[in-house]
């Protein structure tokens, strides 16, 4: 009973802390879209080692997510799924057309020479980021026959993960995932009318898995430089973690991990791992992933690898005295039994 009360107290403290962080993020002015060291310190957010997206180096940092596939496996699964289900996925299976000045030449106000790699002056960065995200969700299986469990299709086939739209999150519904709306945002440095929204969550619905991991996506109207932390990435992670604590299913866990997939205009993306241990929010970011091509890039398949991840890492408190006693009793029963204490497959 005492242990349960302590777990509930820890849960309340964590929810209160995360709510305060979200409130501070909301209080930032319109000009704050990159969180510098001063902002992060005010939010009690700490940057840890970078996340090696290619996994080419020895990683001594804390990891809570691990890609299920190699780069070539992700490429093959993606290509096979689109080719086998092209009629069902339709144009959503096509790599989206890039936003550049040549894309909407009919809207050019001033004819003449221009750099085709420039953004179109009338582009809506949020729309283009969302279109880019939509391709990834289609490949994962989210937009394929949405009335059927998405875990059975796409690259997510056989995965623990399940897509949940923002409006369907339980229990607070629309109150969980952050959004910052501006009318007519435009890409720039600084951006004109900064905007972002966290659009969805990836959850593990099977309670028997006892995995507190959560994931989600966020689209952002601007493009950060390498190493810069976007306001939207921190806000999305805090919203996702608050949702996990509010569920009340993970009171026996001291650490709740989150992974955020951010899309910046249609040109770049990033994978950011967060974990909250009740005291501070720790983040590890990948390098920027480059999507600037007329075909899916190598970095696009790296993004798919990490979206189709496998949860990992130690997150639980040590076993309580009651659980230890129960475990010892089970071991004593096994010793007095002539049967094997484990299930031997194929016996």
Three-class SS of residue 190? coil
d(CA 240, CA 243) in angstroms, rounded, equals 5
Predicted pLDDT at 342: 29
According to the model, what pLDDT value does residue 186 have? 56
CA–CA separation, 180 and 197 (whole Å): 6
pTM of the model: 0.84
Quote the CA–CA distance of 1 and 328 in Å, as a whole number.
20
**Residue indicated by tokens 């289900």:** 85
Residue-level pLDDT, tens digit, the chain, 347 residues: 466 787 788 888 888 999 999 999 988 877 889 999 999 999 999 999 999 999 888 888 899 999 999 999 999 999 999 998 877 777 888 999 888 765 544 444 555 555 666 666 667 788 889 999 999 999 998 865 555 555 567 898 888 898 887 666 655 454 557 777 665 555 555 556 788 888 888 988 888 888 999 999 999 988 899 999 999 999 999 999 988 888 877 878 888 999 999 999 889 999 999 998 778 899 999 999 999 998 999 999 999 999 999 999 998 877 654 555 554 454 444 444 443 332 322 33
What is d(CA 180, CA 177) in angstroms, rounded to the nearest whole number?
10
CA proximity to 221, closest of 266, 157, 166: 266
Give the number of other CB atoms < 10 A from CB of residue 171. 10
Cβ burial of 268 (10 Å; 0-12, 13-18, 19+) is buried
DSSP string, 89-118: HGGGGSPPPP-SGGGGGGG-SS-S---TTS
Within its chain, how far is the Cα of 42 from the centroid? 23
Three-class secondary structure of residue 257 per DSSP: strand
Burial class (CB in 10 A: 0-12, 13-18, 19+), 340: exposed
Alpha carbon of 140 to those of 112, 177, 218, 253: distances in Å?
41, 21, 16, 28
């Amino acid at each position: 009973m005492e242990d349960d009360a302590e777990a509930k107290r820890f849960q309340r403290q964590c929810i209160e802390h995360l709510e305060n962080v979200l409130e501070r993020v909301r209080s930032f002015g319109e000009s704050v879209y990159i969180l510098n060291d001063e902002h992060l310190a005010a939010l009690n957010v700490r940057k840890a080692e970078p996340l090696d997206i290619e996994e080419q180096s020895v990683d001594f940092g804390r990891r809570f997510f691990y890609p299920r596939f190699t780069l070539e496996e992700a490429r093959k699964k993606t290509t096979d799924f689109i080719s086998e289900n092209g009629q069902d996925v339709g144009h959503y299976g096509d790599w989206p057309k890039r936003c550049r000045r040549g894309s909407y030449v009919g809207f050019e106000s001033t004819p003449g020479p221009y750099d085709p790699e420039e953004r179109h002056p009338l582009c809506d960065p949020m729309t283009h980021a969302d279109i880019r995200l939509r391709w990834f969700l289609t490949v994962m299986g989210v937009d394929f026959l949405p009335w059927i469990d998405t875990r059975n299709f796409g690259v997510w086939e056989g995965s623990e993960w399940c897509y949940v739209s923002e409006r369907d999150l339980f229990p607070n519904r629309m109150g969980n995932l952050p959004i910052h709306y501006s009318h007519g945002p435009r890409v720039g440095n600084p951006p004109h009318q900064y905007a972002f929204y966290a659009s969805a969550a990836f959850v593990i619905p099977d309670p028997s898995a006892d995995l507190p991991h959560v994931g989600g996506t966020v689209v952002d109207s601007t493009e950060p430089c390498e190493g810069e932390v976007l306001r939207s990435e921190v806000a999305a992670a805090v919203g996702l973690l608050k949702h996990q604590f509010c569920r009340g299913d993970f009171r026996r866990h001291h650490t709740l991990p989150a992974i955020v997939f951010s899309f910046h205009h249609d040109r770049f993306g990033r994978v950011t791992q967060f974990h909250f241990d009740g005291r501070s929010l720790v983040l590890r970011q990948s390098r920027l992933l480059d999507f600037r091509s007329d075909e899916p890039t190598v970095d696009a398949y790296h993004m798919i690898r990490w979206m189709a991840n496998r949860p990992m890492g130690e997150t639980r408190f040590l076993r309580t005295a009651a659980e230890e006693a129960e475990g010892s009793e089970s071991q004593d029963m096994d010793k007095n039994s002539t049967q094997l204490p484990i299930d031997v497959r194929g016996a």
